[in-house]
């Protein structure tokens, strides 16, 4: 089991009732898919807010970063950078700047 840090945008933190980062206990490989599945299991209110419920596809205005690396278009099943698995870096979920 690996403890992973994730940082959510303000509106999703409000929905989940959390402040700052959340810690997620990941069983198995640390991938975008496994982190999001764990996040949604721990905070069911977030289902559908980051990725489509049916297809698992990232919502259009959501981005995923680790450090300065944009993983938004990476395979959900690819391993996240080692720093995430080691707890050194957080997976950052970003609501893209849009609108006014």
Partner 1 sequence: MSKVRLLVGTRKGAFVLTSDGKRESWQVDGPYFGGWEMYHLKGSPLDPDRIYASQSNGWFGQLVQRSDDGGKTWTAVGNDFAYQGDVGTHMWYDGSSRPWEFTRIWHLEPSPDEPDTVFAGAQDAALFRSTDGGTTWHEMTGLRRHATGPAWQPGAGGLCLHTVLLRPGAPEWMAVAISAAGVFRSDDGGESWRPANNGLRSEGVLPDPDAYEGHCVHKLALHKAFPDVLFMQKHWDIMRSDDGGGTWREVSGNLPSDFGFAIDVHAHEPETVYVVPIKSDSEHYPPEGKLRVYRSRSGGDEWEPLTEGLPQADCYVDVLRDAMSVDSLDPCGVYFGTTGGQVYASSDAGDSWSAAVRDLPPVLSVEAQTLP
Which of 54, 58, 53 has its CA nearest to residue 71? 58
Q: Do 22 and 39 contact (CB within 8 A), yes or no? A: yes
Residue from the set 2, 5, 7, 15 that interacts with partner 1 by CB under 8 A: 15
Per the DSSP assignment, residues forming a β-bridge with 21 are 7
47 binds partner 1, rule: CB under 8 A: yes
Residue from the set 22, 30, 50, 90 that interacts with partner 1 by CB under 8 A: 50
Q: What are phi and psi of 20, to 5 degrees?
A: 60, -140
Tell me the closest approach of the beta carbon of residue 11 to partner 1, in angstroms: 6
Residues whose CB is less than 8 angstroms from the CB of residue 95 and which lie 6 or more positions away in sequence, other chains included:
9, 11, 12, 61, 62, 63
Residue from the set 62, 79, 85, 92 that interacts with partner 1 by CB under 8 A: 62
Quote the tokens at residue 52: 């489509």
41 binds partner 1, rule: CB under 8 A: no
Tell me the closest approach of the beta carbon of residue 54 to partner 1, in angstroms: 6
Contact residues toward partner 1 (CB under 8 A) are: 9, 11-12, 15, 45, 47-50, 53-54, 59-62, 95-96, 98-99
């Amino acid at each position: 089991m690996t403890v992973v840090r994730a940082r959510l945008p303000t509106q999703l933190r409000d929905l989940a009732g959390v402040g700052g980062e959340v810690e997620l206990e990941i069983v198995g490989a640390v991938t975008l898919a496994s982190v999001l599945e764990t996040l949604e299991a721990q905070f069911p209110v977030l289902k559908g807010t980051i990725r489509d419920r049916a297809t698992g596809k990232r919502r259009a205005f959501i981005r995923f970063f680790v450090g300065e690396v944009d993983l938004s278009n990476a395979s959900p099943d690819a391993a996240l950078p080692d720093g995430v698995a080691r707890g050194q870096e957080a997976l950052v979920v970003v609501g893209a700047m849009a609108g006014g």
